[in-house]
Chains A and B, each alone.
Chain A
Amino acid sequence: MESTTLARTGVISNLRALQAVISREWTIFMRYPSWIISLFIWPLIFPMAYLLTARAFSGPDNTGLLQFQAATGQSEYIGFIAIGTMIWMWQNVVLWNVGFALRNEQHRGTLESNWMAPTWRFAFLLGSSVPQLVSMLLMLGVSTLEYTLFFGVRFEGSLWLSLLVILFAIPPIYGLGFTFASLVITAREANAFVFLVRGVVMIFCGITYPIAVLPGWMQAIAAWLPQTYIIRAFRTAALSASSFDAIAPDLLMLALFGAFWLCLGYTIFKWMERRARQTGAIGQY
């Protein structure tokens, strides 16, 4: 008689494992409701620092603002900066949450025992991202609403094109998160790596200024960062009445970056998984 062991895995059992991880992460996520405060407050206060500085740069007679309008082609700076900072916040939170998903399991002391479960191990990482993605989509919605209500930003572009940009932004942003999660598991000073990556995004991707004001070598680096395209495409789609053609080149770049970062994330995860078995160091931090 043929016996069925618990260790035999298939697509269905892997999906069940994924569902279990999602369910666990969701329970943990809902257990600490302070994220609700962050959800409403951060989208308001983070751009505020840059917006008030921009207001000072404009001057009482808007001398500076005219120059900014000439440089960016945008009629108002508030929406321009708000969108840049919103995308930066998204990437920042993904680095902290998805990037630290496995690291946090190490801290809790559950990673090693979970690793021994006869299931698809990538589900641990993928499952951790789902509640995070839901909360981030919520944050994007709340931010848009708050910018309209409190900052008076007029989103005159297309809602559907904006949603399309968000859809294309998910693979590169989360692919980077997966890559990061696998790398920081072996690093003792993981915080410093988050500061480095988010710093690169902050400096090169034009969150508060047009890329054109950067020196040539910095523009060349910006061209290799997906966040540059996300910010530009989202500004075009949300702030001006542009057609699909206006964002199509950026979406194409995002598709390529998305494929690259997801593949890299998965490859590094597999490398880390193999290395963990060889060194037996997965429980250490």
Chain B
Amino acid sequence: MSNLRALYAIALKDWKKYWRYPLNAVSTIFQPLIWLAPVFFMGQAFSVNGQAQGFAAYSGTTDFMSFILLGTILTNFINAVFWGMGYALKEDMDDGVLESNWLTPIPRLLILAGHSLTNLLITAITSTIMIIVAALLFGFQVNGDVLAAFVPIIPMMLGLYGFGFAFASLVLVMRDANTLVDMSSFLLQIFTGSSFPVGSLPKWLLPVSLAIPLTYGLDAVRGILLNTPTLFPLGLEIALLVAFMVLMLWLGAWAFNKLERQVRKWGTLGQH
């Protein structure tokens, strides 16, 4: 019960902090749309009579904007969990409150999970608004079962928590990982096929994409919601995501506990 109260307190603090800067909140909604606009117009330049036939040959749908929008929404959630916890720790470090928070008698992984709650809620709100605006501007249509889409989404998101724990421990050690995060998050976006079907990648790049479990998450969700052909049978992709979830949760918690103990030994927790 006290842990739940702590979770609520962390989430509430992040919520208040986020809405303190409302212009940044507006830009969270419009940023992905701004990045998508060049893709939309580029798609027009490659389309014959408004039909992206080339894209359809790879993806199984001419509705490239729905395909890309789904990828963008999932990427928003991936980023919220993936990097959100590490960034929140970095902010606590810079604000000088990390050390005192660390002294509170609650599990440290819970502090991390608490930081991701507001992120997830905000991402859900901003993504919903983004979808409405995008549907009006570019068009957006899904014809599959939305509830069924959660079958691959849940193991994918839980697996990401594991990665988020590991990344947060890296932030504790390195104390600054912004350049690394910016670049790796951009590369991840590229190789998971956020804005194109990975089947169109050159043959030498395709193995990179197939080695990232998130690729199967995006592929499975699109397969369910847009009825596009998947890279592997849907059942196999979901099984891969469940395996990814178990492995990453274990690995992430292990790495975090080990590195966090090391940082306490060094006594560098309060430094930034």
Assess the B27–A64 pair: CB atoms within 8 A: no
Q: Determine whether A189 belongs to the interface, using a CB cutoff of 8 Å to chain B.
A: yes
Write out the residue numbers on chain B whose beta carbons fall within 8 Å of the beta carbon of A52.
Answer: 190, 195-196, 200-201
Assess the B42–A195 pair: CB atoms within 8 A: no
Assess the B34–A195 pair: CB atoms within 8 A: yes
Those 5 A-B pairs whose CB atoms lie nearest each other, nearest first: A59-B54, A64-B54, A64-B46, A57-B46, A199-B34
Assess the A213–B24 pair: CB atoms within 8 A: no
Q: Determine whether A48 belongs to the interface, using a CB cutoff of 8 Å to chain B.
A: yes
**Chain A interface size, under 10 / 10 to 19 / 20 to 34 / 35 or more:** 35 or more
Assess the A63–B45 pair: CB atoms within 8 A: no
A-B contact pairs, 29 of them (CB 8 A): A45-B183, A45-B190, A49-B186, A52-B190, A52-B200, A56-B59, A56-B197, A56-B200, A57-B43, A59-B54, A60-B57, A60-B58, A64-B54, A65-B46, A67-B46, A72-B45, A81-B42, A189-B23, A192-B21, A192-B27, A195-B30, A195-B31, A196-B27, A199-B30, A199-B31, A202-B37, A207-B38, A208-B39, A214-B41
Q: Determine whether A46 belongs to the interface, using a CB cutoff of 8 Å to chain B.
A: yes
Other A-B pairs beyond A45-B183, A64-B54, A208-B41, 8, CB < 8 Å = A49-B186, A53-B195, A59-B56, A59-B57, A61-B54, A188-B21, A192-B23, A210-B45
Write out the residue numbers on chain B whose beta carbons fall within 8 Å of the beta carbon of A54.
Answer: 42, 46
Assess the B42–A209 pair: CB atoms within 8 A: yes
Q: Mark A184-215, 1 if CB is under 8 A from B, else 0.
A: 00001101100110010011001111100110
Q: Mark A225-256, 1 if CB is under 8 A from B, else 0.
A: 00000000000000000000000000000000
Given contacts A203-B38, A207-B38, contact A189 B21 (CB under 8 A): yes
Assess the B39–A191 pair: CB atoms within 8 A: no
A55 to B42, CA, bound (A): 11
Write out the residue numbers on chain B whose beta carbons fall within 8 Å of the beta carbon of A199.
Answer: 30-31, 34
> Which residues from 15 to 69 on chain B have a C-beta closer than 8 Å to any C-beta of chain A?
21-24, 26-27, 30-31, 34-35, 37-39, 41-48, 52-59, 64, 68
Task: Give B contacts to A, CB under 8 Å.
Answer: 21-24, 26-27, 30-31, 34-35, 37-39, 41-48, 52-59, 64, 68, 179, 183, 186-187, 189-190, 195-197, 200-202
A206 to B44, CA, bound (A): 12
Q: Determine whether A27 belongs to the interface, using a CB cutoff of 8 Å to chain B.
A: no
Q: Determine whether A50 belongs to the interface, using a CB cutoff of 8 Å to chain B.
A: yes
Residue A64 contacts which of B52, B179, B196, B201 (CB distance < 8 angstroms)?
B52
Write out the residue numbers on chain A whose beta carbons fall within 8 Å of the beta carbon of B59.
Answer: 56
Write out the residue numbers on chain A whose beta carbons fall within 8 Å of the beta carbon of B58.
Answer: 56, 59-60
Write out the residue numbers on chain B whose beta carbons fall within 8 Å of the beta carbon of A38.
Answer: 179
Residue B55 contacts which of A49, A59, A195, A209 (CB distance < 8 angstroms)?
A59
Residue A56 contacts which of B21, B37, B55 (CB distance < 8 angstroms)?
B55
A188 to B22, CA, bound (A): 11
Assess the B54–A56 pair: CB atoms within 8 A: yes
CB nearest to A32 among chain B residues: B179
Assess the B54–A58 pair: CB atoms within 8 A: yes
Assess the B186–A45 pair: CB atoms within 8 A: yes
Assess the A56–B27 pair: CB atoms within 8 A: no
CB nearest to A71 among chain B residues: B45
CB nearest to A67 among chain B residues: B48
Given contacts A56-B200, A57-B55, A199-B34, contact A49 B189 (CB under 8 A): yes
Assess the A34–B46 pair: CB atoms within 8 A: no
Write out the residue numbers on chain A whose beta carbons fall within 8 Å of the beta carbon of B202.
Answer: 55
The interface centre, meaning the residue of A50, A57, A214 with most chain B CB atoms within 10 A of its CB, is A57
CB nearest to B31 among chain A residues: A195
